[in-house]
Structure 1
């Protein structure tokens, strides 16, 4: 892999600017959006606003770093030769966005090889921009954030995110049946916001099941930089299973989550 230096703060600033611009586009075009055909399954929806947002982000990054790879959910990705990869979800939570029933976000992460180095998650409706640079802490609108103090599981607020296909919804039914009686309460939120809400202490822990890399890449780095402990089926989190928790809650939640999702 070529050795390429990168100003991660400049990358963060550009990613935040592009995410905010995409968020403004989403707010402006919400009343006039046009739906496309579902992708992988009936609940995997996409609109012309998703596609326009992705093009805005991809074009902005390509203008600054034309040799970088871009992995983008809606098909506007590009190959690269620099060793740096941008992981882009232009609208995480499309169902919430189009139905006006919950939050959504714009997610941009920068990897060097297989290591996340910078991340931005922007919530357009709330006007909140979560950012992190590897080793530099996590921030919300420029102010430092940190994971919760971690109450016991019986009092903890846990986020859950999942791919809404039939197989995964069946698995989630088991998770809800088994986990809800053990914790304080559960909130369903899109994967990126699940992770940044843990980073800001709004959630004490969370699970994401059967997601894609672009759903979790940005949020996971922000959560890690805020002090959230992350893992999956084994030590490392994966799109198949991402578990996050405040450090004092981690062992208890991870044990229960791994057992419940093992089937």
Structure 2
């Protein structure tokens, strides 16, 4: 089935902005539900409302598409296309008002990402990408910088806050922090798009889900960020991204301890 990828990107971007504005408007009245997989895996009624807004509109536009969504409002499809939705990546930041969060929507054809949108509501920044068509921030083309050496590099770190992954992340930070310029802990999608924008020089994510990284990874790749994991292909278990000049040193260090 042919698909107008630019039209898909524009629809997804519009939905991400609508969801982001809802999140800003309802932040003072949100209700936090029971934890999901572990005590730090929190969800609010705003997560749920945002996902329903996005999924319902995608279903209306392309009813034959599958939808994989974090809070469970997706379903199967027959078209061979799949939307991957994280309605609020960084819920803990959102609830506690301690950092940024984003709305993430990606479109896959089979196993290949074709369209990506990551929207950061507070900054009103929309990062987008179309497979083979480059990456943009608010309509301006993104191109990754060459990147500094590791000892001056700013590296983003993302990880699921369950006990096992926190222990794993602690080992990585123990070895990384003394030899890099500095680190920042940021949600996974923003970690990747900040790489694309040159705000971070390198980044790593541990034990994520597909909806955490699907959109951000395509934006990063289309901007020229080098991505990998244990090997050339990145995975939800380990995602490493870097500017080209930084890739070898960062990947070697992270793979050795992660």
Q: Is the 8 A contact 1:89 1:214 kept in 2?
A: yes
- State the Cα distance separating 1:148 from its structure 2 match: 2.2
Structure 1 alignment gaps of length 5 or more: none
Matches of 1:76 and 1:153 in 2, distance apart? 42
Instruction: Note the aligned Cα RMSD (angstroms).
Output: 0.5
Deviates more, 1:247-256 or 1:185-194: 247-256
Matches of 1:146 and 1:121 in 2, distance apart? 16
Residues 1:18 and 2:15 are matched in the alignment: yes
- State the Cα distance separating 1:147 from its structure 2 match: 1.2
Residues 1:134 and 2:135 are matched in the alignment: no
- Matched with 1:234 is 231
Matches of 1:146 and 1:127 in 2, distance apart? 20
Matches of 2:146 and 2:248 in 1, distance apart? 14
Q: Which runs of 4+ in 1 moved over 2 A?
A: none
Matches of 1:198 and 1:147 in 2, distance apart? 7
Structure 2 length normalisation: TM-score?
A: 0.99
Q: Is the 8 A contact 1:148 1:202 kept in 2?
A: no
Deviates more, 1:140-149 or 1:187-196: 140-149
- What whole-Å deviation, never above 9, does each CA across 1:205-258 have from its counterpart, x for those lacking one? 100000000000000000000000000011100000000000111111111110
- Matched with 2:90 is 93
- State the Cα distance separating 1:41 from its structure 2 match: 0.3
Number of aligned residue pairs: 258
Aligned counterpart in structure 2 of residue 29 of structure 1, from 18, 23, 26: 26
- Matched with 2:38 is 41
- What whole-Å deviation, never above 9, does each CA across 1:114-152 have from its counterpart, x for those lacking one? 000000000001100000000011100000111122100
- Matched with 1:104 is 101
Matches of 2:125 and 2:99 in 1, distance apart? 15
Matches of 1:111 and 1:205 in 2, distance apart? 25
Residues 1:187 and 2:184 are matched in the alignment: yes
Aligned counterpart in structure 1 of residue 163 of structure 2, from 161, 166, 174: 166
Matches of 2:128 and 2:144 in 1, distance apart? 14
- Matched with 2:113 is 116
Aligned counterpart in structure 1 of residue 250 of structure 2, from 226, 249, 253: 253
Structure 2 alignment gaps of length 5 or more: none
- State the Cα distance separating 1:26 from its structure 2 match: 0.2
Matches of 2:109 and 2:36 in 1, distance apart? 29
Matches of 1:58 and 1:247 in 2, distance apart? 36
- State the Cα distance separating 1:38 from its structure 2 match: 0.4
Matches of 1:240 and 1:157 in 2, distance apart? 22
Aligned counterpart in structure 2 of residue 56 of structure 1, from 53, 57, 63: 53
Residues 1:74 and 2:71 are matched in the alignment: yes
Residues 1:178 and 2:159 are matched in the alignment: no
